[in-house]
Homo-oligomer: A and B are copies of this chain.
Amino acid sequence: MARILNIGLIGAGRMGRLHAKNIANQLSGTRLHAVADVVPEAARLCAEQNAGCLVSPDYREMLADPALDAVVICSGTHTHAEIIRDAAYAGKHIFCEKPIALTLADTDMALAAVQAAGVKLQLGFNRRFDPTMRRVYQARASGEIGAPQLLHIISRDPAPPPIAYIKTSGGIFLDMTIHDFDMARYIVGSEVQEVYARGNVLFDREIGRTGDFDTAVVMLNFANGALGTIENSRQAVYGYDQRLELLGGRGGVSAQNHFPNQVTISHAQFVRRDPPLNFFLERYVGSYLSEMTGFVDAIIDNTPVPVTGQDGRMALVLGLAATTSAREHRPVRVDEIG
């Protein structure tokens, strides 16, 4: 179909503006139709940079526009489920930043609305679209390394987010590990049946005072017998550490960090290089365009979206299981959670 897809942005913060730029400038066959944000100035600035883009004072007004084909939801987590529901009722396809919600109830409410409306919903688990992560996936999916056996994921931020954010984040397992739970399912190609999680407060007492952890480890048991471990830290002084590896029956595959350059400097005490790309916007820059391309193609070709609401639900379930496990100091079966 050669028509232009009209996309509306709900939430003009950092992620929203990034998606807006891609939609307006990089993706052919789409245009940024409108922007809504609870902060009117944010919406206005964003719309300004994209010729012909409307400003919606309220997202519901955007949803009421018959010209709109789809929405991209980048507002605060607590608004996602409600906006998904409203967008589904309005018959608009939906791309939503993770997570859908911090509770299963809200998640299931949103998914039911999507199901009933028959619109497409894609979750913003962008790391799946990263060339390095994708290559690991291909190594497993193609059989290059045989049947998956042992997975290890390292995911560390350069520094914790503001404490105000931590307080409403749902905790490390719902806010940080949730990306790794999705990656684990994607890379291994099997559902997780049980988790065992431990957390600790090792360097940030403020985080501890909120009841959250700054460091966590999760063990996973997959349906296909594979075992996995995820390590998270809210602070690795050398930057953003995103590595993973999978051992299979015919070989192993491992993903290293991405660096700002491929330069090595040798001097008397050390051979050294600059640290890895420092945070998610740099490290995963290409993936945001790829995932949006995937969303747009699914709409245009009427094919399934590459990352579904079910994927979002499963990641939340694993996050809830891990939270319970760490709190109650026991392994938790996924079917306990729902």
Which positions in A face B, CB cutoff 8 Å? 25-26, 51, 131-132, 134-136, 139, 144-147, 149-150, 152, 154, 156, 196, 198, 200-203, 215-217, 219, 221, 225-229, 231, 233, 236-239, 241, 247, 249-276, 329-331
Contacts and interface: CB of A to CB of B under 8 A. Distances in A.
Given A265-B144, A265-B251, A271 B152 contact: no
Nearest to A241: B252
Contact of A249 (B51, B134, B203, B264): B203
Interface of A (DSSP majority class): mixed
A203 B149 contact: yes
Nearest to A134: B261
Contact of A271 (B196, B229, B267, B272): B272
Contacts of A238: 251-252, 266-268, 271
A263 B246 CA distance: 11
A255 B247 contact: no
Given A25-B25, A196-B196, A251-B266, 8 more contacts: A145-B267, A147-B203, A149-B215, A229-B229, A229-B231, A236-B266, A271-B272, A272-B273
Contacts of A271: 238, 259, 272-276
B237 A265 contact: no
A256 B139 CA distance: 21
A67 to B, nearest CB: 19
